[in-house]
Chain A
Amino acid sequence: MVDMPAQNPQRIVLPPHRERARRPRIVRFREWARRNLFNSRAGTALTIITAAILALIVYGVVYFVFVDANWRVITENRWLLFAGGYPMDQEWRLWFSVMFVFLLIGLTYGTWASLGRRDHLFIVLASGFAILLLAHGGAAIWSTIWYLIAVGLLYAGYAIMIRMPRDASRGRTLQQRSVAGLLVAALPIVLIVLLAFGGARPRELEGFVLNLVLAPVGIAGGLIIAIPLALGRASRMRAISWTCTTYIEVVRGAPLLGWLFVALFILDDVIGGELIVRAMVVLAVFTAAYMAEYIRGALQALPHGQSEAAHAVGLNQFQSMQLIVMPQALRISIPPMVGQAISIWKDTTLVTVILPLRELKGNADSAIAQFEFTPDRIEAYVFVAVVFWVVAFIMSRISQRVEGSLGIGER
């Protein structure tokens, strides 16, 4: 092929794969389809069957969404589903928190990763979904504006951070540290904004807002408990390792519903307080056991040479833990930890099952308990599923990008 004389003297002959890439799009598509869809007789049959099933599913979904479903159960109960009993005159606190979190997401992306085409597409789609929901009937123009401002903040934070130098300079370190500090402080800040200084009482947290509060509290609290727990389990001091092992195994032995049962009936005597606080404690305690196992796995995966080298350069036990071992172990354990975080996010629905706390699914139950919406149960649950899916998808997406930029899992 290379030896062939060029028919057009102007045209430069490229290596074969580049030549192939230069052919018209339709030819390339046909070749791609032959390779990936119709590569054999069985493959063709499989493609046709799958396409038929897909067409059926798409038809069913489209018919349900646009013809069969009555989405008024969602649009009429927007506030109930979103915040439920949260005092309506304090709405600005919710929007402030949303903006703050969106800004943080932008800053995080700008610092450790970059937004790909898919991310932009996803943001546009998710925003479209949110705006459709917010602006559908009723006087919700302001919430749409607040939401758009939040998305704008996301992009602004991203735009600022992505322009920062990416080398290992002092400025870069400062930037990373300040964003990390903001991330750590985010949860307390949001909680203060929501609850303190004339905000809502804890029991007024309801609906989607309750999920959004419970999950981070469970994750952050779990992480705080999990680190000493993992170190304790790996310890050579028997008393410590045995109690930590017992804790982990007992907590992992019962389902979360069982522990919420404890929060409802038993913890009342022990720590008292509001039910929602007890639920938070249980979530943190429960998550900690699982996270501790992931950290322990990471500690074991770390070569011994690391701590030995730390001792050789004269670091003491604590310094070696803090500077050498823990940073690496935590980095290794990020992927399973994110899995656990997503799992906790989904598990926040369980507080509805036996506790009298109404999170998104619980308030969807309240929505369809109204007489006019009783036929629309499927719509309500589908909506809840979609909302949870969107957030879980965002979480896994962010973690993938951050993992990629930290080089986790690469050798």
Chain B
Amino acid sequence: MAIAAGNAPPPSSDVPLLYRRGVRRLLTQGIYVALTAVVIGYVYTSLDLREFGFGFLNEPAAFKVGNQWLTDVDGVTNSRITMYLVGVWSSLRAVLVAIALSTVIGVLIGVARLSSNWLVAQMAMLYVEIFRNTPLLVQVVLVYTILLIGAPLIENVVNVGDFFFISNRGMAMPWPVPDSGFWGTPDWFVGVWVAALIAIGVVAQRVRADRQGRERETGQPHYPNRWALGVFAVGAVVSFFALGAPVSIDEPVIVGTHYIEGMVMEPEFTALVAGLTLYTSAFIAEIVRGGIQALPRGQTEAANAVGLSAYQRLTLVILPQALRQIIPSVTNQYLNINKNSSLAYAVLYDDLFRVANIVQNKAGHALEMFFVIIVTYMLISFAISVVMNFFNARVTAQRI
């Protein structure tokens, strides 16, 4: 085996056939393959595969999928696979928001855990110990229950200036939607604007690199970040109005017991994201703490020696190095967020897992649905890993 690497094979002439390494390996693998084949064959024959196939996914769905945002797909005319994709979009939304929030909170708590302020450090430890050691399911369900019981009924909704509402049906707030612009520009100009934003972002990146280069050459401050930000902001505003501002603000309205228009954050979504964030940020905080503690003490001492303030020491010396080291572990946590988002099932948030379950209830085909589920999760995990590996390669390539 791999552990016993490196010893040269004995001369084959005087070794009996059964004791030769090649023969042994062949025999072992032969027996192993035969056993595996028997197991797989048993599983295969015991499964009911007479109706195996994915055709059922193209039939009309005939069920509703809630918690939609930016989409309004009804289940009457659309197929099951379309509804499933709506569920995938819901999952992705929750996962992305939870990743962003848990990273920010996790880093903050992780740093606070090592604060020189005793009270802050103890509070951070309390946070970590509480949220790391309780089941995520209970956290999600508890937040959901609190939102349902604690928030006012929609009849006595909390109304902030007629554009922001809080009730037990969630929070509603204004949201920009594509619309025709000043000089009759069509609403798809929003897409043009987004494309323009990407182009402007590339230009801003160039400006930044250029300024950084000059800074390095001359030793004079050339403010690369401020320049890049300024270029981006000016470009964004100018292009927005040049395209006729093809956006209008959609304000939420209450009709009966429902919100219409605006962006509505349903309690299901909030509970899922809050649970995922609380739980994962506790783990990320521990990872951040480990990363900081793994740095040699000399880094802190050197930062003190050149006269950096505590804040500069943290943001310029400690965190850049620590965060670089912890990217693999944090990626693991992101993958966990992806998989744990299936807990949406417990609060009836229509994510991919729940929609898949509904499809399975309606149409059977458990095996096929499981394939679909696992492939989707693996694809999302793969996407997260690719992005994080790219990021990792970038930050570890440049030396500080």
Chain B residues whose CB sits within 8 angstroms of the CB of A346 once the complex forms: 133-137
Complex-state Cα separation, A234 to B1, whole angstroms: 7
Whether, in the assembled complex, A405 has its beta carbon less than 8 Å from a beta carbon of chain B, the answer is: no
Interface size class of A (residues with CB under 8 A): 35 or more
Q: Tell me the A residues contacting B by CB distance below 8 Å.
A: 36-37, 39, 43, 46-47, 50-51, 53-54, 231, 234-240, 243, 250, 253-258, 261-262, 265-266, 269-270, 299, 302, 304, 307-308, 311, 317, 320-321, 325, 342, 346-347, 349-350, 352-354, 361, 375, 377-378, 381-382, 384-385, 388-389, 392-393, 396
Known contacts A237-B28, A266-B366: A304-B5 contact under CB 8 Å: yes
- With CB as the reference atom, state the residue of chain A lying closest to B344: A257
Question: Which segment of B82-90, B138-146, B219-227 sits at the interface?
Answer: B138-146
From A50, A255, A325, B353 is in contact (CB under 8 Å) with: A255
Are the CB atoms of B149 and A231 closer together than 8 Å? no
Which residues of chain B have C-beta atoms less than 8 A from A239's C-beta?
29, 32-33
B301 lies within 8 A of chain A by Cβ? no
A408 to B377, CA, bound (A): 35
Contacting residues, chain A, for B33 (C-beta < 8 A) = 239
Interface size, chain B (Cβ < 8 Å): 55
Given A258-B370, A261-B370, A349–B135 Cβ distance below 8 Å? yes
* B142–A255 touching, CB < 8 Å: no
Query: What string of 1s and 0s marks CB contacts (under 8 Å) between B207-240 and chain A?
Result: 0000000000000000000000000000000000
Closest A residue by C-beta to B47: A269
Measured between beta carbons, the chain A residues less than 8 angstroms from B118 are 36-37
Interfacial residues of chain B within 115-142, with CB under 8 A of chain A in the complex: 116-120, 123, 129-130, 133-139, 141-142
Residues in A with CB closer than 8 Å to B339 are 254-256
B8 at the binding interface (Cβ < 8 Å): no
Q: Pick the contact of B43: A47, A270, A299, A308 (CB < 8 A).
A: A270
Q: How far is the CA of A165 from the CA of B4 in the complex (A)?
A: 38
A350 near B137 with CB under 8 A, answer yes
List A contacts of B340 (CB < 8 A): 255
| Interface contact A47-B4, CB-CB below 8 Å | no
How distant is the Cα of A166 from the Cα of B364 in the complex, in angstroms? 62
B14 adjacent to chain A (CB < 8 Å) = no
Closest CB-CB distance, B60 to chain A, in whole Å? 23
Taking CB atoms, residues of chain B closer than 8 Å to A381 are: 138, 141-142, 145
- Specify the main secondary structure of chain B where it touches its partner: helix
Contact in complex: B4, A46 (CB < 8 Å): no
Q: Which residue of A lies closest to B150 (CB)?
A: A378
Least CB distance from A32 to B in Å reads 8
A-B contact pairs, 23 of them (CB 8 A): A36-B117, A37-B117, A53-B123, A54-B119, A239-B32, A240-B29, A255-B342, A262-B370, A266-B366, A269-B47, A320-B4, A346-B133, A346-B134, A353-B137, A378-B145, A378-B149, A381-B138, A384-B138, A385-B134, A385-B138, A388-B135, A389-B130, A392-B133
**Partner among A237, A262, A269, A307 whose Cβ is within 8 Å of the Cβ of B3:** A307
How far is A231 from B138 in the complex, measured between Cα atoms in Å? Answer: 36
- In angstroms, Cα B121 to Cα A43, docked, is 12
Q: Name 7 extra pairs, CB < 8 A, besides A270-B46, A381-B145.
A: A54-B123, A254-B370, A255-B353, A270-B47, A342-B133, A378-B146, A392-B134
Partner of B6, one of A253, A308, A385: A308
A257 to B33, CA, bound (A): 30
Confirm or deny: B343 has a beta carbon within 8 angstroms of a beta carbon on chain A. yes
A254 — which chain B residues lie within 8 A by C-beta? Answer: 339, 370, 373-374, 377-378
Structural contact, B119 and A258, CB atoms closer than 8 A: no
Residue of A whose beta carbon sits closest to that of B141: A381
A-B pairs, top 4 by smallest CB distance, nearest first, are: A265-B366, A255-B339, A36-B118, A392-B133
B317 to chain A, nearest CB (A): 19
Are B367 and A266 in contact (CB-based, < 8 A)? Answer: yes
> Which B residues lie at the A interface, using CB under 8 A?
1-7, 25, 28-29, 32-33, 36, 42-43, 46-48, 116-120, 123, 129-130, 133-139, 141-142, 145-146, 149, 339-340, 342-343, 345-346, 353, 357, 360, 366-367, 370, 373-374, 377-378, 381
Q: Return the contact of B133 from the options A258, A350, A396 (Cβ within 8 A).
A: A396
Q: Please tell me if the beta carbons of B137 and A261 are within 8 angstroms of each other in the complex.
A: no
B48 to A258, Cβ gap below 8 A?
no
Whole-angstrom distance between the Cβ of A5 and the nearest chain B Cβ? 38
In the complex, A392→B342 CA distance in Å? 23
Q: Determine whether the beta carbon of A385 is less than 8 Å from that of B117.
A: no
Closest CB in chain A relative to B290 CB, distance in Å: 11
Q: How far is the CB of A322 from chain B (nearest CB, A)?
A: 12
B129 adjacent to A393 (CB under 8 Å): yes
Chain A residues in 8 Å Cβ range of B137? 346, 349-350, 352-353, 361
List chain B residues, Cβ under 8 A from A243. 32, 36
Cα distance, A307 to B353, chains bound together (Å)? 46
